[in-house]
């Protein structure tokens, strides 16, 4: 089994990615024992802030799941409710980011300006926004709808297509 990804690696790769995307003013990086977010940075051009809570990978799926839940709780308790100009992020190894994508409703991410920063083993960072979550979660719902329908006698394909179109219009 591969070694779990450390929080320090996640943090370093996200900082590098942020700088490449125009974030770098007033960069503050917290250490593991510090109180507050792990990364706080201001955009170079705009007055927007990005506050990010990072976590490393656990040795088991349950510890990884726990890392996600803890990071979500930590970032939520640090949110400036009602204040514009803030993005919030969860900086997670890609294995934990997959859990977050499946568990955070896109509507909540949109309302809270919450993004998921997924870091893979090579150090590549992917920012997952509420729009990305909506797309992924809609695809999952469509797949579940088709799977459920397959357990019954299979209706004509045109009926399934109509149902999917109707569902997408309602969103």
Residue 106 lies inside a defined structural domain of this protein: yes
Query: Containing H/E element for 54?
Result: strand 49-54
Give the pLDDT confidence score for residue 54 in this predicted structure.
Answer: 95
Q: Which domain holds residue 147?
A: 135-170
Domain presence at residue 2: no
Question: If pLDDT is split at 50, 70 and 90, which confidence band does 148 have?
Answer: low
Whether the per-residue pLDDT at 159 is higher than 90: the answer is: no
| Distance of alpha carbon 93 from alpha carbon 9, whole angstroms | 9
C-beta separation of 91 from 117 below 8 A: yes
Reported pTM: 0.78
Q: From CA 78, how far away is CA 120, in angstroms rounded? A: 26
pLDDT in tens, 14-48: 999 999 999 988 888 987 655 678 999 999 998 89
Residue 1: inside a domain: no
Q: Does 147 lie in the same domain as 101? A: no
Structural domain count, the chain? 2
Res 33: pLDDT? 55
How far apart are the two ends of the chain, measured CA to CA in Å? 42
Is 153 among the domain residues? yes
Is 39 within 8 Å of 145 (Cβ atoms)?
A: no
């Amino acid at each position: 089994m591969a070694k779990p990804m450390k929080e320090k690696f996640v943090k370093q790769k996200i900082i590098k990615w942020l700088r490449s995307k125009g974030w770098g003013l007033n960069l503050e990086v917290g250490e593991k024992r510090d109180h507050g977010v792990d990364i706080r940075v201001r955009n170079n051009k705009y007055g927007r802030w990005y506050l990010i809570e990072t976590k490393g990978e656990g040795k088991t799926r349950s510890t990884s799941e726990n890392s996600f839940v803890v990071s979500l709780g930590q970032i939520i308790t640090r949110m400036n409710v009602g204040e514009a100009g803030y993005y919030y992020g969860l900086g997670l190894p890609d294995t934990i980011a997959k859990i977050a994508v499946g568990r955070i409703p896109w509507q909540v991410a949109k309302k809270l300006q919450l993004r998921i920063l997924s870091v893979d083993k090579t150090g590549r960072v992917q920012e997952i926004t509420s729009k990305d979550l909506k797309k992924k979660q809609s695809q999952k719902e469509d797949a579940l709808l088709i799977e459920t329908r397959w357990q019954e006698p299979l209706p004509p394909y045109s009926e399934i297509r109509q149902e999917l179109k109707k569902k997408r219009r309602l969103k």
